[in-house]
A and B are shown apart, each in its own frame.
Chain A
C-alpha cells in the first residue's frame, strides 16, 4: 500500500482564497496573495498506481478541466510553506463522486493553503502560523498539518 497525493487548484479566480486574503488582512496578517488547493490523498495498492492519475482526472467531483489544474505531488506531505487543514475525525472514504477507483483503499481530503508576500515569496513561517491559529484552522475540529 502506498499513499499518493493530488492537488487540485482553480485556474479561474478563487473566491474562497480571496475571502481568506481579505480576512487575514483584517486580522493584520501581512499577505499579498493566498493560494488554495484541494488535496486528495489516495491509499492505493502498490500494483494499481499506474492508472491512478487518469482515474482521478476522470472524476468530475475532483477535477473539471475547464477550471482546475491537477498536479500529482511528489509526497503525501505538505510542501515547504504550505499548510494542510484536515478534519480531526475524518473517516476515510472509499468512494468519490459515487465511484470507486480500482486499487484505492481509502480517500482523504485536505485543504492546502499558501500565503505569499507582495514580492511573490512565501510568507515567513511565523506569519503562516498566525494565519492558521487565528483563522484558517478551527482547532475544535480541525488540525493543521505541516
Chain B
C-alpha cells in the first residue's frame, strides 16, 4: 500500500492542485487537508505544504500559518521523524515554524525567506542543484549526486536571510540542500539575492525540506514556454517530477 500524504490547504494556498497531481503521478496516495481539519493530519505518513499566500502573507510570509492549529500536528510529526516537504509558501511556513534549518526552538525562526533583494516579485524559470550529499536528504531517496531540477521561481519573499553566524552554521552543517544553478549544474547567483545561493533548506535529520521554487510547475512539458501542441507530448513528465519521485521513493521505502 502506498504511503498517505497530506497536502495542506491554508487560506490563500494556490498550488495545491498541481502539487496533488504531482504526488499522484508518482503513485502516492495524497489528499488535500483543509485548514479546518487539523484532526485529520495525524493519520498521514507525510506532509506537503504547497505554495500560495497563506493568510495573504500578513505580518510576514508564512508567519501566521506557522502558528495556526493546522501546523501543530505537522510540527509534532516532523519531530517524530515524518517527512515534511514545503514548496514556496510552504517553505516560508517551515522556516517560520523553526523546522528548517531547525537549529533553534520551535516557532522561533533562526532563518527566513525574506523579501527579495530587488524588492519585487520574481517569476522566472530556474534550475536548482543538489548542494549536499544524497545521504544528507533521506526525504529524497535515490536522488543522484549533483542532481539538477528545473522549477519555476514565483515569489516575493525567497531570499534566505539569517545572521552571519547562523549562515555559517547552515553552510557548515549542510542545511542548504539546493542552490540555484544553470541547466548544466553550475551554481549561479540567486536572482532574489538569497544568501549562500540557497534555493532550499533541510533540517538536521534530512527529513524536512523547504524548497522555494516550484518543481510542480515544471512537472509536465505543457508547462514549458512554447510547449508543443501535440497532446501526447504535452503530457510527458518533465524534470520537476523527479523531486516528487524521490520523495515517493523515500516514503515507500519507509513503508516497505
Q: Which residues of A contact B (CB under 8 A)?
A: 15-16, 19-20, 22-23, 26-27, 87, 89, 133-136, 138-142
Q: Please judge, given known A-B contacts A87-B114, A138-B112, A140-B111, whether A16 and B162 are in contact too, CB under 8 Å.
A: no
Q: Tell me the bound Cα distance from A72 to B246 in angstroms.
A: 56
Asked if B115 is at the interface (CB within 8 A of a chain A CB), the reply is: yes
Please report the number of residue pairs spanning A and B whose Cβ atoms sit closer than 8 angstroms: 56
Closest beta carbon of chain B to A60's beta carbon, Å: 17
13 A-B residue contacts at CB 8 Å?
A15-B58, A16-B58, A19-B55, A19-B64, A20-B59, A23-B59, A23-B64, A26-B67, A26-B68, A87-B114, A140-B114, A141-B112, A142-B112
Asked if B46 is at the interface (CB within 8 A of a chain A CB), the reply is: no
Query: Which B residue's beta carbon lies closest to that of A93?
Result: B119
Q: Please judge, given known A-B contacts A19-B58, A140-B109, whether A87 and B115 are in contact too, CB under 8 Å.
A: yes
Q: Which residues of B contact A (CB under 8 A)?
A: 55-56, 58-60, 63-64, 67-69, 95-96, 107-112, 114-115, 161-163, 166
B161 touches A16 (CB 8 A): no
A138 touches B109 (CB 8 A): yes
A140 touches B59 (CB 8 A): no
Q: Chain B binding site: helix, strand, loop or mixed by DSSP?
A: loop
A140 touches B58 (CB 8 A): no
Name the contact of B166 in the complex, choosing from A26, A133, A140, A142 (C-beta under 8 A): A140
Q: A138-B60, A139-B163 are in contact. List 4 more A-B contacts (CB 8 A).
A: A19-B55, A26-B67, A141-B161, A141-B162
A140 touches B161 (CB 8 A): yes
Q: Please judge, given known A-B contacts A19-B59, A26-B67, A135-B59, whether A140 and B110 are in contact too, CB under 8 Å.
A: yes
Chain A residues, CB < 8 A from B108: 133-134
Closest beta carbon of chain B to A76's beta carbon, Å: 22
Q: Please judge, given known A-B contacts A16-B58, A19-B55, whether A140 and B67 are in contact too, CB under 8 Å.
A: no
